[in-house]
Structure 1
Amino acid sequence: MTGRFPIEDVSPVVSCGRYPAKAVVGEVVPVSARAYREGHDALGCNVVWLGPDGAARPFTRMRAGEPGQDRWHAAIRPDAVGEWRFTVEAFQDPYLTWQNAVTKKLAAGQGPAELANDLAEGARVLEAALALVPAADRKRVRAAVVALRDDDRELPRRVGPALDLAALLWDHPVRELVTTGDEHRLWVDRPRALFSAWYEFFPRSEGAVPATVDAPARSGTFRTAVDRLPGVAAMGFDVLYLPPIHPIGRINRKGRNNSLTADPDDVGSPWAIGAAEGGHDAIHPDLGTPADFRAFLAAAAGQGLEVAMDLALQCAPDHPWVTEHPEWFTTRADGSIAYAENPPKKYQDIYPVNFDNDPEGIRAEILRVVLHWVGEGVRIFRVDNPHTKPFDFWHWLIWQVKQVEPDVLFLAEAFTRPAIMHGLGKIGFTQSYTYFTWRTSAVEMRAYCEELVAAADYMRPNFWPNTPDILHESLQHGGPPMFKIRAVLAALLSPSWGMYAGYELFEHVARPGAEEYLDNEKYELRPRDWAEAQAQGRSLAPFIATLNRVRRDNPALHRLRNLRFHDVDNPALLCWSKHDPDTGNTVLVICSFDSRSVQWGNTTLDMPALGLDWHERFTVHDELTGTSYDWGQRNAVRLDPYLQPAHVFTVRRPAPPAVPEPVAAAPAELTVAAVPADLSGGTAPTAPAPEDEARWTS
């Protein structure tokens, strides 16, 4: 920092500036700092921000926040991918100092003689402003200078034109004693880094043919998996995540349900990467050829889907690296290579990479692999267990890749200690899996989401209600309503969410004693009859499509920083909102955590968080049912898990009342029709009641 005035506690700054803060193109990024000065003269602050091209963006003035806290606030909106830089400046504002003094002296009744020096000082400041204001406004400024120096005018007419320039000189201030703070970095990604809806499926299961007595099972391929793309797109997803597509090792291959002994027809886990056919830069021959993969990417893009690829830095015992570079692994005392363990779990089919024996060689090879797939058209990588690899390696790799292709995104699959998850976000991971799955009460979910909002400068959550590894007991035993509840929570609390195939079919049977699926697709082919499930009404797909449509249509849901919670007097219910000041769009959600019983509650809404005044009435329109209600700050709600476990409201400010036509005389008596009370605390619904959803029961 250089200059006269202290500038402290600048935000957003991550780890004292060691890493850049994060934003996406078009996101409103709040910038704040603490700045103060001696005495009573006015202080001003502004943000200087430079785009990736090095060009300065428009002057951004900061406003003072809470009285007495000396905290200044502004917002910037980056418009390009890349590294941005910003600096907070503090300056003496002579116009504001003059305005404050003159206003007080006029109120005290001082006359022209007592204000002579003030009038001269005002003219000096305005003359300096002539070089700063737009050409179209210079005439006004000159007229104000003339007025201040005109002794023949009455005092109010001398001062008035100068005081009327307050708004102009706020945007184009005269700055003296400018102090420049430290420069800080902001990495800006494309919008999908923050707002995305993910769907995971195994290509080998799509179009697979189960084994029969007469014939072995036949794997699905990229060509057959294309048939599933329209169904995924119809549900409103925009990212299709594929587990590893590489050759699968045969040595120590796991059998069905993670058994240690594999039958000859067992397909093995895709995460046991590498065999005679190749390693991380190869495609499993059962899935097809590189040309088939490129055709699959093109078909997905045609459906509005971007394909995310798994990056799992581990090897099967027969991976080419094991023989070509044995130094890249850990050798045990008996001379064997150590396989992966997470006691009591053992992964005999996987060798972890040891990054310490030949770090330069390993880094060069992995960078080559990643850039190979980037060259094939992949721009999103879901990274398997990044917390088990060195953090300096990830920091190096991510920024090496972004130098080549800034649009590449990385999702961290790291279910580990909070400090590590936050650390991965800081060093460059675009998004992160979270503890969402294990937050099963309203109070837990609220506290966790508030923690994530506080970390929005560097960590972007992606909420998943299930994965191939995780089938939480709430889904095992909660019935179909719980599948709806968890989908609402995941899709509408976080800007990014995802689900693993089978969720829409209410798959809920777990392997005994484990939090994962029975007959797990990680170890076997699992073809599903999507069309039959849809035809029989055993699919959640229409509900998922509605949630994703609501997400897409409401800009407020595209952000994380705007998440606000509201009080509700029932601990089984959670109430939250998101408001977008630019568009005025507001979404208000009340969701039950109880999948078995009807729950009532009374809300106490934070009205300013909705963009409303405390006294206002407004209309809420339920996007799930089409019903509308008249609401205020306090409202009663009733949620039935089988009919409607959540309200998803868009908030509509009522139009001002029309001026009534004058009438000659009022009738002697008026008859008022009774209006039935609405279960949600307002007037009667304007659309039919929700349809019976018993058909969701599996």
Structure 2
Amino acid sequence: MKPKSVVIENVRPIFNEGRYPIKREVGDTVTVWADIFRDGHELFEAFLVYREKGSKKWSRTPMEFVDNDRWRGTFQLEKNARYEYTIEAWPQHLPKVISRFKPILEVVADRPLARYAAWYEMFHRSQGKIEGKSATFDDMIARLPEIKEMGFDVIYLPPIHPIGETNRKGKNNLLKALPEEPGSPWAIGNKSGGHKAVNPELGTLEDFDRFAAECKKMNFEIALDFALNCSPDHPYVAEHSEWYYKNPDGTIKFAENPPKKYEDIYPLNFYCEDWKELWKELLSIIVFWRKHGVTIFRVDNPHTKPAVFWEWLIAKAQEKYPDLIFLSEAFTKPKMMKALAKAGFTQSYTYFTWRNSKSELTEYLTELTQSEMKEYFRGNLFTNTPDILTEYLQKGGRPAFITRS
């Protein structure tokens, strides 16, 4: 075979040498730039080639010369899917001597909702009709019209699963709960089930299905908290004790996120000997709730789990359900937040919560929208959360909230 004479380099957009896909939305046009040139003065042709991942057939569109050996090509994302693309070029007199850029690059075409949506956190304990008593799914259905009128698109639910009883936390994180205290919803699992079960205080799985149907009828999407926490009473503990970290005496370690301690939670060991079965089981939780109408998962503390696990899980889940959206709830170091976004998270928490002045907001939003981050990191700008209410909002009154909207 004759040597290839056309050089293809400086391809954009690209980051991490093409290791991860860029992110776009359905309907977007992907514009690809590259330096393309060859020795001498003979003419050559350059094409942008692309296909939906898994397809055997490539589509080809001519690239356009701009100036100084810089070329440009475009293609449109017509489906909610993952696409592959690259660049091919060859001398006009040697059409079979094709130069191809490597590696093959990818772009994820998410639904438009991945770019923007207004989220309403519907914590069942603040939705009830009787003081001190949690709302049921039927109570929550009654609130939907009011929430819709406020302009929200997404109903975000904290964990709705059975809550552990062993080492149950009390008010203000007290180590021992009073008999009437319900415990933390993030300490998942008891005799009623684990991550694929519903807290009986809220109703049944059939009640949840009815809630999901009402949400769909009103054009709400449901985001469910995906918290990989297990209480000591979770069925996994009895069935798969090998999935957890052990103390020297053989007991299972409780969770810590210094300086916080979670005596009511056992963290999973993603590197255990039986890690393949563990990972498959965690993927099955996503599939289970997708079948019950959940299209968005707000992932709790993903930075305390391996990025390689998230890359695998999100790719597998979206292979089956391309419409799924994953939000990374990671308030952590910048490099880890970026790594999780590259690994596949559709959206990410941001430092917006702590940016207050005009200069701080301008600098941060410029980084999100004008740097390399724009190719893979979609920031979800929450004003506050149930456990984060900054001094700026505490003391700034209504004007502070308006500023952040």
Note the C-alpha offset of 1:178: 5.3
Tell me the distance in 1 between the aligned counterparts of 2:153 and 2:190: 32
Note the C-alpha offset of 1:483: 0.6
Q: 2:101 aligns with which of 175, 178, 181?
A: 181
SS in 2 for 1:218: coil
Q: Counterpart of 1:304?
A: 219
- Asked if 1:324 is matched to 2:239, the reply is yes
**Please, which runs of 5 or more residues in structure 1 have no aligned partner?**
95-173, 211-216, 488-698
SS in 1 for 2:32: strand
Aligned length: 398
1:650-665 to 2 correspondences below 5 Å: none
Contact 1:3 1:180 in 2 (8 A): no
Q: Counterpart of 1:370?
A: 286
Note the C-alpha offset of 1:235: 2.0
1:502-541 to 2 correspondences below 5 Å: none
Which AA in structure 1 matches 2:31?
P
TM-score w.r.t. structure 1 length?
0.54
Q: Counterpart of 1:354?
A: 269
Tell me the distance in 2 between the aligned counterparts of 1:32 and 1:370: 37
Contact 2:212 2:292 in 1 (8 A): no
Contact 1:204 1:287 in 2 (8 A): no
Tell me the distance in 2 between the aligned counterparts of 1:339 and 1:278: 20
Note the C-alpha offset of 1:455: 1.5
Contact 2:61 2:74 in 1 (8 A): no
Note the C-alpha offset of 1:270: 0.9
Contact 1:204 1:221 in 2 (8 A): no
Sort the Cα spacing of 1:383 and 1:46 in 2 relative to 1 into closer, same or farther, 3 A.
same
1:286-435 to 2 correspondences below 5 Å: 286-357=201-272, 358-435=274-351
- Asked if 1:61 is matched to 2:63, the reply is yes
- Asked if 1:206 is matched to 2:127, the reply is yes
Tell me the distance in 2 between the aligned counterparts of 1:206 and 1:338: 34
Of structures 1 and 2, the one scoring higher in RCO (CA 8 A, sep 6+) is 2
What do the CA deviations read for 1:432-485 (whole angstroms, capped 9, x no partner)? Answer: 111111122222222222322221222221111111121111101111100110
Which AA in structure 2 matches 1:191?
P
Q: Counterpart of 2:133?
A: 218
Note the C-alpha offset of 1:298: 0.8
1:610-629 to 2 correspondences below 5 Å: none
Which AA in structure 2 matches 1:296?
F
Which AA in structure 2 matches 1:391?
A
Note the C-alpha offset of 1:57: 4.2
Which AA in structure 2 matches 1:181?
F
Sort the Cα spacing of 1:208 and 1:330 in 2 relative to 1 into closer, same or farther, 3 A.
farther
Contact 2:227 2:299 in 1 (8 A): yes
Contact 2:350 2:379 in 1 (8 A): yes
Tell me the distance in 2 between the aligned counterparts of 1:301 and 1:71: 47
1:125-164 to 2 correspondences below 5 Å: none
1:447-458 to 2 correspondences below 5 Å: 447-453=363-369, 454-458=372-376
- Asked if 1:486 is matched to 2:404, the reply is yes
SS in 1 for 2:328: strand
- Asked if 1:29 is matched to 2:30, the reply is yes
Tell me the distance in 2 between the aligned counterparts of 1:237 and 1:22: 24
- Asked if 1:71 is matched to 2:73, the reply is no
Q: Counterpart of 1:48?
A: 49
1:612-691 to 2 correspondences below 5 Å: none
- Asked if 1:83 is matched to 2:82, the reply is yes
What do the CA deviations read for 1:634-676 (whole angstroms, capped 9, x no partner)? Answer: xxxxxxxxxxxxxxxxxxxxxxxxxxxxxxxxxxxxxxxxxxx
Sort the Cα spacing of 1:259 and 1:71 in 2 relative to 1 into closer, same or farther, 3 A.
farther
Q: Counterpart of 1:284?
A: 199
Note the C-alpha offset of 1:176: 9.5
SS in 2 for 1:246: coil
Note the C-alpha offset of 1:425: 1.3
Tell me the distance in 1 between the aligned counterparts of 2:115 and 2:73: 21
Note the C-alpha offset of 1:336: 3.4
Which AA in structure 1 matches 2:295?
R
1:549-588 to 2 correspondences below 5 Å: none
Contact 2:28 2:77 in 1 (8 A): yes
Note the C-alpha offset of 1:77: 1.9
Tell me the distance in 1 between the aligned counterparts of 2:211 and 2:266: 30
Which AA in structure 2 matches 1:80?
K
Tell me the distance in 2 between the aligned counterparts of 1:48 and 1:58: 4
SS in 1 for 2:374: coil
Note the C-alpha offset of 1:56: 4.3
The percentage of aligned residue pairs carrying the same residue is 46
Which AA in structure 1 matches 2:150?
M
Which AA in structure 1 matches 2:146?
G
Contact 1:311 1:382 in 2 (8 A): yes
Q: Counterpart of 1:668?
A: none
Which AA in structure 2 matches 1:204?
R
Which AA in structure 1 matches 2:107?
L
What do the CA deviations read for 1:523-578 (whole angstroms, capped 9, x no partner)? Answer: xxxxxxxxxxxxxxxxxxxxxxxxxxxxxxxxxxxxxxxxxxxxxxxxxxxxxxxx
What do the CA deviations read for 1:230-259 (whole angstroms, capped 9, x no partner)? Answer: 122122221111000001111222222222
Tell me the distance in 2 between the aligned counterparts of 1:444 and 1:190: 30
- Bigger Rg, structure 1 or 2: 1
Tell me the distance in 2 between the aligned counterparts of 1:205 and 1:470: 17
Note the C-alpha offset of 1:55: 4.5
SS in 2 for 1:73: strand
Note the C-alpha offset of 1:278: 0.9
Note the C-alpha offset of 1:78: 0.6
Note the C-alpha offset of 1:60: 4.2
**Please, which runs of 5 or more residues in structure 2 have no aligned partner?**
none
Sort the Cα spacing of 1:377 and 1:92 in 2 relative to 1 into closer, same or farther, 3 A.
same
Tell me the distance in 2 between the aligned counterparts of 1:75 and 1:440: 38
TM-score w.r.t. structure 2 length?
0.91
What do the CA deviations read for 1:148-181 (whole angstroms, capped 9, x no partner)? Answer: xxxxxxxxxxxxxxxxxxxxxxxxxx98975332
Which AA in structure 2 matches 1:185?
E
What do the CA deviations read for 1:42-80 (whole angstroms, capped 9, x no partner)? Answer: 66543122234454446243342xx54x33233322101
SS in 2 for 1:85: strand
Tell me the distance in 2 between the aligned counterparts of 1:253 and 1:60: 63
Contact 1:44 1:62 in 2 (8 A): no
Note the C-alpha offset of 1:186: 1.8
Contact 1:329 1:337 in 2 (8 A): yes
